[in-house]
Amino acid sequence: MSNEFIPYGRQSITAADVEAVCEALTSDFLTQGPLVGQFERAIAKLSQCKYAVAANSATSALHVACLALDVGPGDSVWTTPNTFIASANCALYCGASVDFVDIDPQTYNLCPVRLAEKLAEAEASGCLPKVVIPVHFGGHPCDMRALYELAQTYGFSIIEDASHAIGAKYKGTPVGQRYSDICIFSFHPVKVMTSAEGGMAITQHEHLAERMRTLVHQGVTKNKLELETTSPGDWYYEQQVLGFNYRMTELQAALGLSQLERLSHFIERRRALVQRYYQLLSGLPIQLPGEADYGFSSWHLFPIVLNEVLAEQRASIFKYLRDHQIGTQVHYIPVHTQPFYQQRGFNWGMYPVAEDYYQRTLSLPLYPDLTDEQQVRVVETLQQAIDQAIIL
Ligand SMILES: *Cc1c(COP(=O)(O)O)cnc(C)c1O
């Protein structure tokens, strides 16, 4: 068997993708042409949402989503510690503060029960969050109905960070369709589908879509209807707020559109590989990620959790796998333990479930082009890694 490096995730690029990008490259527009709008409409349709706004990354989309919901100084935004740092940083970009809610030990998503407890405490001390950002970790949807009911009770908004979860469903409907104000996707190459860099915000609310669209375009509007009374001619545009250049390019949209045609195949293949992992890994002293009855996962990640004995050897198991060309990874170092967040008053011990999970987890390779043979190599190498860890 060959011994090439197997990463934990990677993009799947075909000749059709290459052709689509080359066609965009030789068209009249490299940016702000027809493809970005086409990509937005396609993602909106897939998500059964009225509006979609493309951005140059999910990080940018999270930033403008927070701004569209009026997040600013004096506000608090809550998210999960088990996420990529961008889910928290977006609040700080707006001058707001960040706080975290511990995770559920089964799904590793933000725990609705912990959220309810924390909200009750926050109400008593008068510091309720303005926005809560649940993350569909690994592609597995959060229990959105429970979060939505809490949002109704306590009056906060919800931004779903669905960076891992395009194509995932909650109770049969696409994520972002119903239980939040705004939902964000990432098209970074390791995610479920890619536009190289790229992100998208979807919403059912016209005013939020308009605000986000203005913010990704330097705060400028050229909307003819809006400018009807002020416009002296066709050259005219107006800056109405302070915005950013967060635009997606035509090349990115061309790749995204081409990838979107294969999204259901990507997810089918991921799901088939997960079923194979369940068979191949049964009997090992590890907890495997599951799917709740309300969720259809897009399976961005396959995070295993080592039992308590093995967890002490996590670093050596990681190293053994890497030394044997298996690109395992750890998702995620709890955000609140980053030095930057520790400087802001957070510390180890504050979110014990996320911290315990972090100490014991490893993500196994999972991506559409992973072959059955490569997957067997992953499992055999993991078995060896565990054997040597037990001897240590
Ligand atoms: C990847 C990721 C992001 C950021 O996405 P970019 O497109 O790289 O900006 C945000 N949140 C989560 C959970 C992610 O995994």
Name the E strands within the chain.
51-55, 76-79, 97-100, 131-133, 157-161, 169-170, 173-174, 182-186, 199-203, 220-221, 238-239, 286-287, 295-296, 302-306, 361-364
Ligand 1: residues within 6 Å at CB? Answer: 57-59, 83-84, 86-87, 135, 161, 163-164, 186, 188, 199
What per-residue confidence (pLDDT) applies to 228? 73
pTM for the full predicted model:
0.97
CB–CB of 169/175 below 8 Å? yes
Nearest protein CA to atom 6 of ligand 1, as residue: 58
Write down the domain spans for the chain: 15-260, 263-391
CA–CA dist 228, 248 (Å, integer): 27
User: CATH second-level architecture of 263-391?
Assistant: Alpha-Beta Complex (3.90)
What per-residue confidence (pLDDT) applies to 2? 65
**How many A from CA of 87 to the centre of ligand 1?**
7
- Tell me the CB-side half-sphere exposure of residue 294, using CA atoms within 13 A: 11
CA–CA dist 146, 159 (Å, integer): 14
Atom of ligand 1 nearest to the CA of 83: 13
The reply to whether CATH 1.10.645.10 applies to domain 15-260 is no
Which pLDDT tens digits describe the chain residue by residue (392 residues)? Answer: 568 999 999 999 999 999 999 999 999 999 989 999 999 999 999 999 999 999 999 999 999 999 999 999 999 999 999 999 999 999 999 999 999 999 999 999 999 999 999 999 999 999 999 999 999 999 999 999 999 999 999 999 999 999 999 999 999 999 999 999 999 999 999 999 999 999 999 999 999 999 999 999 999 987 766 777 778 888 888 998 999 999 999 999 999 999 999 999 999 999 999 999 999 999 899 999 999 999 999 999 999 999 999 999 999 999 999 999 999 999 999 999 999 999 999 999 999 999 999 999 999 999 999 999 999 999 999 999 999 988 76
**How many A from CA of 161 to the centre of ligand 1?**
8
Domains 15-260 and 263-391 share a fold: no
CB–CB of 151/132 below 8 Å? yes
**How many A from CA of 75 to the centre of ligand 1?**
23
What per-residue confidence (pLDDT) applies to 225? 67
What per-residue confidence (pLDDT) applies to 340? 98
